[in-house]
Structure 1
């Protein structure tokens, strides 16, 4: 779970019209311009017609707090369906539930799964290959050894880590696309889709918004933000990305529409032992927390599933490899990389959309090694 806070800045004028307001994590906060209702489930109506024009709901699932908002006709239907989908996917994918498809697969080493679970495993294997192993859903036993699954934190024995790493080769996983049958690579392998599940969930909610024909909407899944459409005036939403070096401030503001904005960083989920901090983003090749000068990585993409997987992957890669990867896949996503020294690297696709007062470098395709 990514422990990142992302803020959505919404125009008060837009909220008053009840139309078209404005990325594993803690919470996503909508600033003061958001609806002020304290209820977990709220709607707003146009005073003249009595028509429901907006609906929102707060939900706890996938070990985090979530907010779903929809605007326009059928907004309540969209929010209701979104909650049902979130709870369905949570039950299906949770490693904490012994009855979930993932838990059963981990226990048996094989099994027939649902279309959603199969798709996520398939996408995970593709990302494993594309990122040269930086994204690895078989890291779950290593996370458990560090205590990040149950908060029983400790630095594992190096011999133990080497053994666990040896069982993480995903190339041995067998998938049958006709039957949705999955065979894990070995008896010791266990997988966890937490690094990609929230992004997939937010994308599914975008599908629901589309099918319900709402005008616009937003979902915040514990820091994973995905936006549907634009504000009522056609302008972009404004998403403020937290400054990992100053948790009371923002690193910058991103203007976006029809995009997922998902951030990964290790600065809010960590423990200390013998005076050293250990965060939860594990490099699958070493078994230790990634240590490469990066403080956070934000991915901006139309594909929420991809953005979720890449936010962790690029963090593990480090700046140079991450920017090389972006150069090869610049049509699929953009990124904001924040370093431990406070400097920020912004890929050129969002050069005009991300504003910051901090020292920053615009990375272009021809000089991505800058």
Structure 2
């Protein structure tokens, strides 16, 4: 007689679009799908109104006209800014929210769907961005001071933070397990399915929603979050020069990394995204920095070679000729090291 096994949890899912990305919601109780979908849409609309760089009526854009004065902000924007500034501190400035002007200079000045894919040359001056240390956030008072001339961009952390926030709130409201994925930034909360949350990790090139034949794998997590950052999905040309949205704060232009995609699992999606983005922004030094963070990671080089670190399940060879579809669990999901840890 075969041993009894736990029945597989019945889940339900819904897809939508928000924050410039494809959104996927999965719940472990199908009866809560409609209510959770509505709550998720409302949550992401609130985030967009507070944090968008492309909406003239957003709170973030309003800071551009504050002229360096201390400005009241909503608890929502204060929390998003706190997450961005924490990421900057933990990565020693590799993930920095003061890259708004740099983003505009390289052509990412509107929703990515509207960015001209092959435009005229742009004059790029190599210089560091203003730096997160120039931003003063007082969460207790609910105020922020952004010096005149500095434009903020929360794109490196806001979606992952929004995924964490939404997954947590939906799980509390429904009492069931919830997975929220925003363009590859995935957060889970509540009781997981019996066999865990299975997540496919793969390259996305040419367009944020495209699926390629590059190396991919399926991993299982039961808590925390998983994020993938890449230079191949959001890219464009200016005068034949390739550019992408991952900024190296030391130069103020697109980072030059040996990796095209970095995936990380961590205690939160925000931590995972902070680590994956920092690895790309740090260029050739990114790999050694990521090793020191002790977070399960998967890196894909420009030629398709896959490197796994810190307990991420290894993948079968050959990397370049066959699509890798492994199913393995990530059993150790840690937070990013606290401030003052390895640089």
Q: 2:223 — aligned with what?
A: 258
Is the CA contact 1:337–1:345 (under 8 Å) kept in the aligned structure 2?
A: yes
Structure 2, unaligned runs of 5 or more: 1-6, 206-210, 321-343
2:256 matches 1:291: yes
Q: 2:171 — aligned with what?
A: 210
Q: 1:66 aligns with which of 23, 29, 37?
A: 23
- Distance 1:115-1:274 versus aligned 2 partners, 3 A rule: closer
Q: What is the correspondence of 1:106-125 to structure 2 with a 5 Å cutoff?
A: 106-108=64-66, 109=68, 110-125=70-85
Partners of 1:275 and 1:297 in 2: CA distance: 25
Partners of 2:98 and 2:120 in 1: CA distance: 20
Q: 1:42 — aligned with what?
A: none
State the SS of the aligned residue for 1:194. coil
The count of corresponding residues between Structure 1 and Structure 2 is 300
- Distance 1:144-1:105 versus aligned 2 partners, 3 A rule: same
Q: TM-score, normalised by structure 2?
A: 0.78
Q: What is the correspondence of 1:1-370 to structure 2 with a 5 Å cutoff?
A: 19-21=9-11, 54=12, 56-72=13-29, 74-108=32-66, 109=68, 110-150=70-110, 151-152=115-116, 153-159=119-125, 161-162=126-127, 165=128, 168-184=130-146, 186-228=147-189, 232=193, 234-243=194-203, 247-318=212-283, 320-327=285-292, 329-330=293-294, 333-351=295-313, 355-359=315-319
Partners of 1:254 and 1:309 in 2: CA distance: 20
Partners of 1:273 and 1:84 in 2: CA distance: 37
Q: TM-score, normalised by structure 1?
A: 0.73
State the SS of the aligned residue for 1:350. coil
Partners of 2:124 and 2:109 in 1: CA distance: 19
| Runs of 4+ more than 6 Å apart | none
Is the CA contact 1:133–1:284 (under 8 Å) kept in the aligned structure 2?
A: yes
1:325 positional shift? 4.1
In angstroms, what is the RMSD of aligned CA positions?
2.7
